[in-house]
Amino acid sequence: MARLALLLPLLALVACGGGRVRDANAPLSPAAQKIEILTAARATCKKLGSVHGIGEDLDEKVSDAQATSAAKEEAAKLGGDAIVFVTTTSDAKAGSGGTLVVINKTADVLTCPPGK
């Protein structure tokens, strides 16, 4: 019974997709392709929530692209049409092929009226 108690939180984490790194070769969904990246929220935009994107690769540019794509996918799930990155962190992690660059991005998800 103690083993089951230890496994349940792990199963919940896996079921929620927590900590997953997006496949660099996976295409963006049509909804995520439409997400606009803004440098600041426009006055006409409404904040829907926040999302996190994680990228992990030997190449920092690939890690960054993965994190951006993951954030856009999550924003699309919330029904947003724009994001503003509020934090970006970069860490190193030992991997079998060398040192991996892990990029974490947090973004505010917005819905903005068209053309404004």
In this prediction, residue 24 carries a pLDDT of 64
Can you tell me the mean pLDDT for 54-76?
96
- The more confident residue out of 14 and 111 is 111
Separation CA 75–CA 103 (nearest Å): 17
Q: How far is CA 74 from CA 9, 16, 49, 108, in A?
A: 22, 12, 10, 11
Q: Rounded mean pLDDT of the chain?
A: 84
Helix (H) or strand (E) holding 108: strand 98-111
pLDDT in tens, 32-45: 999 999 999 999 99
* Other beta carbons within 10 Å of 85: 16
Q: Which domains does the chain have, with CATH numbers?
A: 21-111 (3.30.110.70)
In this prediction, residue 22 carries a pLDDT of 66
Separation CA 79–CA 48 (nearest Å): 8
Helix (H) or strand (E) holding 2: helix 2-16
In this prediction, residue 9 carries a pLDDT of 39
Taking the model in full, what pTM does it have?
0.78
Residue 81 DSSP one-character state: S
> Is residue 57's pLDDT more than 90?
yes
